[in-house]
Amino acid sequence: MNIKLKYLAKKLDGKLFGNGEILIKGFRSINEPKKNYISFYNEFIPEEKLIGKRNKDISLLTNIPIEGFHCIVVDERSLNEKTEELLKYFEIKEKFNKGIHPTAIIGKKIRLGKDVSIGAHTTVGDFVKVGDNTIIYPNVVVYPKVKIGNNCKIHSGVVLRGGVELGDNVEIDANASIGTTGFERGFTKDKLDILPLNAGVKIKKNVFIGANSIICKGTTLETIVGNGSKIDGMVYIAHGVKIGKFCRIAGQSGISGKSFIDNEVSIGGQVGIDDNIYIGKKAFIASRSGVIKKVGKNEIVAGFPSLERNKWKKIQVIIRKLPEIWEKIKKVESKL
C-alpha cells in the first residue's frame, strides 16, 4: 500500500523532517535502503551504515533526525513498536477467495467452520474437521479423520495424514508432510515389517512448519509440537518426538525417534539428534552438531559428538595447529 511520507508520519504519531510528499512503497533494511522505501535506524546502529546513502531520497523511521535523510522521528521508547507497526502496514498479503473451489474433492461427513477456503484440486477426506477462517490452498491432500483448528494456513502441496491434529493459528508451508510413516516401519529379511500406526501427530497452537519438512507418526507414541514453536524448512522429526513450547529448529535438522525437546530450545541448522535423547529447557545446539547424549538445561553445545561449546572451540583451535605442531615434532626428532 503506497502512502506519502507526511501521512505515514501522522499515522505513526511522529514528527516529519524533510520532504513529506515522497511516496513510500514499502519497508527495507538499513543495509539495503532504496528510494521510495523507508528504513529503520536508531542511534545504536553504527554511523557507517549510513555512509554513502545520503541525498538519495532515502527515508528513515528514527528516534533522532539524521541530516541528509527524510525522517519520521518517534520517541525512543516507542521506536520498536512503531517499526513493527510499519512492517505490518507494508506486509505482502496473500489474498485468497473464500469458499470451496469447484475442482476440490470433498469427502463425506466433514465439518467446516465459518469462512473456510479450500483451493483448486485439493482433496479432503471423510470425517475431517476444519475450523473457522482456515485457508487450505490448492493441491493439498487431507486424509480422513484429520482435525484442523481455526485461522490455519495450509499451503500448496502439503499432505496431512490420518491422525493429525492442528491447533489454532498453525501455518504449514508448501510440500510439508505431516503424519507420514516413521522409521519404525523397518525391513525384515524378506519384506517390509509393517507395524500398525496407532499414534497420531499433534501440532499445538501458533506453530509454523516450514516447506518440505516431515513430521512422522508412530505406532504407540504421539508426536507433539508445542505451542509457539517454529520449525524451519527441510526438517525431519521422527515418530514419538516431543517438542516443547517456543522452540526454534533451523533448516535441514533431524530429530530421531522418541527424543524429548524441552521448552524454549534453539537448534541450529543441519543438527542431528540421536533417538531417545533429552534436550533441557533453553538449551542451545549450534549448527552442524551431532547430539548423542543428554543436553542439560541452559547448556550450549557444539560439534560432533556435541560438547560444551567453549570446550569444543578450544579443541578446534588445537586441531588447526596440529600441522604446525607436527612439523616441530619432526624437527626435534631429526636432532635426536
* pLDDT one-digit tens code per residue, 304-325: 878 777 887 888 788 888 888 8
**Confidence (pLDDT) at 160:** 98
Report the share of the chain in percent with pLDDT over 70: 94
pLDDT higher than 80, residue 288: yes
| Radius of gyration of the CA atoms of the chain, in A | 26
| Any domain includes 47 | yes
Q: Are the C-beta atoms of residues 216 and 223 closer than 8 Å to each other? A: yes
Specify the residue for cell string 494456513: 153
**Confidence (pLDDT) at 257:** 92
Backbone angles phi, psi at 222, to 5 degrees: -70, 145
Quick one: which of 327, 296, 325 has its CA closest to 309? 296
Point out the catalytic residue in the list 70, 101, 121, 239.
239
Tell me if the bond preceding 305 is cis, omega within 30° of 0: yes
| Any domain includes 226 | no
DSSP state letters, 199-217: --EEE-TT-EE-TT-EEEE
| Any domain includes 69 | yes
DSSP state letters, 169-198: T-EE-TT-EEEEE-TTS-B-SSSB------
| Any domain includes 135 | no
**Confidence (pLDDT) at 84:** 92
User: Tell me: the pLDDT tens digits for 112-161?
Assistant: 999 999 999 999 999 999 999 999 999 999 999 999 999 999 999 999 99
| Any domain includes 274 | no
Give the structural domain span for 27: 3-89
Q: Worst-scoring range by mean pLDDT, 29-43, 167-181, 233-247?
A: 29-43
For the question of residue 121 being annotated catalytic, the response is no
Q: Are the C-beta atoms of residues 247 and 266 closer than 8 Å to each other? A: yes
Q: How far apart are CA 161 and CA 145, in angstroms?
A: 9
CATH code at position 26: 3.40.1390.10
Specify the residue for cell string 477456503: 117
Band (51; pLDDT cuts 50, 70, 90): low
Give me the half-sphere count of Cα atoms (radius 13 Å) on the Cβ side of residue 58. 24
| Any domain includes 333 | no
| Any domain includes 137 | no
Contacts 24+ apart (CB under 8 A), 1-4: 1/89, 1/90
Number of domains in the chain: 1
pLDDT average, residue stretch 287-306:
92
Specify the residue for cell string 527515508: 59
Q: Are the C-beta atoms of residues 209 and 232 closer than 8 Å to each other? A: no
User: Tell me: the pLDDT tens digits for 191-209?
Assistant: 666 667 788 999 999 999 9
> From the centroid of its chain, how far is CA 105?
30
Q: Are the C-beta atoms of residues 4 and 24 closer than 8 Å to each other? A: yes
pLDDT average, residue stretch 26-36:
88
Q: How far apart are CA 173 and CA 190, in angstroms?
A: 38
DSSP state letters, 140-162: -EE-TT-EE-TT-EE-TT-EE-T
| Any domain includes 17 | yes
Tell me the three cell numbers of residue 25: 512503497
Mean model confidence pLDDT for the chain: 90
